[in-house]
Amino acid sequence: MPAIIIGLIVAAAFPALALLGKKTNAKRKKHFLLSGIAAFALMVVIATVFMFNGALATSGETAAEAVTTGEVSVGHGLALAGAGLVTGLACIGTGIGVASSASAAIGAISEDENLFGKALIMVVMAEGIAIYGLLVSFLIINAI
């Protein structure tokens, strides 16, 4: 099953990779973009089918049994939601930070090539926010 998902990811990325290094018109770019979106949508549908294969029939019974035995609580659910929020918000913050610092770094490097090391450090510092968010979510999940 993992090989199928990897194959679907490659298939979804192939239309965009086919445009690299080629001069094409707008109609051809639009065609490749739409085919990439269609491949990605197909990948999501197939992954969803594989994910819920056979689990839908027993999910109600399993959830009811877990609640009656005390394995699942509101605190457990809130901790998992918090772990997801930590990772998601950290990645959004990283995207904002990298967008501003990388564009400024590219402008600075285009004027003076000696600033490459300093610019790279600034961009990597913004990337560290996502790593810290992921670390905190691991700590939350391990504490459960």
- Check whether residue 22 and residue 77 sit in a common domain: no
- Check whether residue 21 and residue 82 sit in a common domain: no
Most confident of 8-17, 73-82, 89-98: 89-98
Asked if residue 60 belongs to a domain, the reply is no
Q: Round to whole Å and give the CA distance between 54 and 48.
A: 12
DSSP 58-105: HHHHHHHHHHHHTS--HHHHHHHHHHHHHHHHHHHHHHHHHHHHHHHH
- Check whether residue 84 and residue 49 sit in a common domain: no
Tens of pLDDT, residue by residue over 128-141, are 888 898 899 999 88
- Check whether residue 45 and residue 90 sit in a common domain: no
CATH of the domain at 119: 1.20.20.10
- Count of alpha carbons within 13 Å of 49, Cβ hemisphere only? 9
Q: Which residue type does 87 have?
A: T
Q: How many distinct structural domains can be found in the chain?
A: 2
- Check whether residue 17 and residue 80 sit in a common domain: no
Tens of pLDDT, residue by residue over 87-113, are 888 988 888 888 888 888 989 899 988
Which token pair is 16? 């965009």
Q: Which domain holds residue 122?
A: 73-144
Indicate yes or no: pTM above 0.85: no
